[in-house]
Structure 1
Amino acid sequence: MLVLLPPSETKRFGGRQLFSLSNLSYATRLEATRERVRDALIAVSRDEQSAVKALKLGVKNRDLREHNLQLETSGASAAIERYTGVLYDALDVESLTDLEREWVHQHVAIQSALFGLCSASDEIPAYRLSASSRLPEIGSALAKLWAPAHAGLLDGRPYVLDLRSKDYAALAPVKDLGASSNDFLEVVTRDGSGAVRALNHFNKAAKGDLVRRLALSSPSIGNREQLLDWALEHDLELTIGDDPHTLRLTTTQGAPAVSR
């Protein structure tokens, strides 16, 4: 199984390693597109006003464009450690043991707007670019560039669980990645009356909690049925959704997960 995560707008800065595009996973297939997006990002970041518009920067964070000009010198760290925010706080990878973290490295990938699909262990620098950004040198939505580059990328993977948001899923549509089977995860909450509705803010926390639970048990999962069995054993309410390729994780309001 491979779990696909979205990145986060917020990131840790610095890192102990030097960054190189050629060291990232899937380099054979993605490096040319990575170079094109990187060069376009650097170009727009050189001018403050252009960067503010293209990267949707405000008064308080416009200095983030400087990270785009220091990609090779600012330091690199594992992608799973680079991103912060609600999902990554719930995952809390730094508290995992070496064996649990190794499960994450082997079974989790992150969809970056700058680097495309990255393994959790790929060393990347801090940057500012989101899936909805428009880079003048590219002249179109990033999805139009990234989607064909990712086609067939996961050919041979038995099962993919997609936890990405819609904007990031569009960069590499899961149906085109080539895995034998896939599911999209939706998160809903059940209130005190038993009514179920879509979860907003806690959606990310529930996804991070799910990946953490997987890491803690480090299971060998190769299809949907095995994932559902695992969830049942770990008191998670994970069921088949209305769409044939959707799984539904039900939580209680304000809590990451519930028992059956």
Structure 2
Amino acid sequence: MIVLLPPSETKAAGGTAEPLSTASLGFPGLAVARSRALAALDRLVAAGQDVSTPAKARAAADNAAVRDAPTMPAIERYTGVLYDALGAASLDADARDWVDAHVVIQSALLGFVRASDRIPAYKVSEHTRLPGERMRELWSGAGDAIEGFALDLRSKAYAAVAPVAGAVPVEIVSPDGRALNHWNKAGKGALVRSLALAGVEAPSADALVAWAASADVPLTRAEGGLRLVVQDPRLVAAR
């Protein structure tokens, strides 16, 4: 079982591990695409980046230092609503091991990376124009690296950049069936936390739904995938 997550626009600063080594990242079949992406980022940096605000200046500095900056596990690098709700830092050892073994994050710069892969801070999204590259061409075949049952919690934009055949998407809705924005991300993070704490090993969507029913998690079958109902701002799906 693989859980696919989107990256976040915001990232933690710093790190304590050695600089980026693409050879040490998961999914070695993405090596050529990663090399192309990093070379394109070098060209973007050389051409000059927008530094008109403190946030943009920090982003430009991160991109300029991406090959030499210290790294940290991807699950700690990404921040924001989804990752706050997941709360990897507060998981016990067994749950953290589950995250490292099952969670895969889609990076616009590095393709799919495992939760434990050590990566630097950077500022590249699916909307970034990397000189000489197109995101959808760069990562169009990346989904071939994902094998087995994949629970797809990515945004539609990232799923379109790197389609994964057979991946099962999850729709996040309110109790009255309305689509959600902010709580969409929080609901996804809470669901992953629930899975990690329970140590779920589901070989299929049906098996996952069966676990959810036994654990009182509001995850059910829906047309084209699964549906998670977010009950309230405290996300009672989280355990």
Q: Distance in 2 between matches of 1:81 and 1:258?
A: 22
- The ranges of structure 1 where at least 4 consecutive aligned residues each deviate by more than 6 angstroms after the TM superposition are none
Note closer, same or farther for the CA distance 1:97–1:132 as it changes in structure 2 (3 Å cut): same
Q: How far 1:47 moved relative to its partner?
A: 3.6
Contact kept? 1:202, 1:255, Cα under 8 Å? no
Q: Secondary structure at the match of 2:54?
A: coil
**Partner deviation per Cα, 1:171-217 (whole Å, 9 max, x = no partner):** 21022xxxxx4310110002xxxx32101111000000000011111
Taking the aligned partners of 2:42 and 2:181, their CA distance within structure 1 comes to 33
**CA–CA distance in structure 2, aligned partners of residues 163 and 151 of structure 1:** 14
Match of 1:204 in 2: 185
TM-score (norm 2): 0.93
Is 1:247 matched up with 2:226? yes
AA partner of residue 154 (structure 1): I
CA-CA distance at 1:137 after TM superposition: 2.3
Question: Residue 216 of structure 1 is aligned with which of 193, 197, 204?
Answer: 197
Q: Distance in 2 between matches of 1:42 and 1:205?
A: 34
Higher relative contact order (CA 8 A, sep 6+): 2
Determine if contact 1:34/1:115 at 8 Å carries over to the other structure. Answer: yes
- Cα distance in 2 for residues equivalent to 1:6 and 1:21: 20
In structure 2, the CA distance between the partners of 1:72 and 1:136, relative to structure 1 (3 Å rule), is closer
Cα deviations by residue, 1:58-78 (Å, 9 ceiling, x for unpaired): 623221111111123220110
1:130 corresponding residue in structure 2:
125
Q: Which runs of 5+ in 2 are unaligned?
A: none
Contact 1:132–1:167 at 8 Å: present in 2 too? no
Q: 1:78 to 1:2 in 2, by over 3 A?
A: same
Alignment length (residue pairs): 236
Asked if the contact 1:10/1:85 (under 8 Å) is kept, the reply is yes
SS class of match (1:174): coil
Cα deviations by residue, 1:118-152 (Å, 9 ceiling, x for unpaired):
011100000000011111222x3x0122112x152
Match of 2:137 in 1: 144
TM norm structure 1: 0.86
Equivalent residue number for residue 178 of structure 1:
none
Shift of 1:254: 2.9
Task: Please give the residue correspondences for 1:92-171 in structure 2 after superposition, counting only pairs within 5 Å.
Answer: 92-138=87-133, 140=134, 142-148=135-141, 150-155=142-147, 157=148, 159-171=149-161
Deviations 1:220-257 (A, max 9, x none): 211112101111122111111122xx100012243424
SS of corresponding position for 2:97: helix
Cα distance in 1 for residues equivalent to 2:122 and 2:43: 14
Contact in 1 for aligned 2:183/2:230 (Cα 8 Å): no
Residue 21 of structure 2 corresponds to which residue in structure 1? Answer: 20
Q: CA RMSD in A?
A: 1.6
Could you list the per-position Cα deviations for residues 98-131 of structure 1 after superposition, in whole angstroms to 9, with x for gaps in the alignment? 1110000001000000000001110000000001
Cα separation, 2, equivalents of 1:35 and 1:208: 30
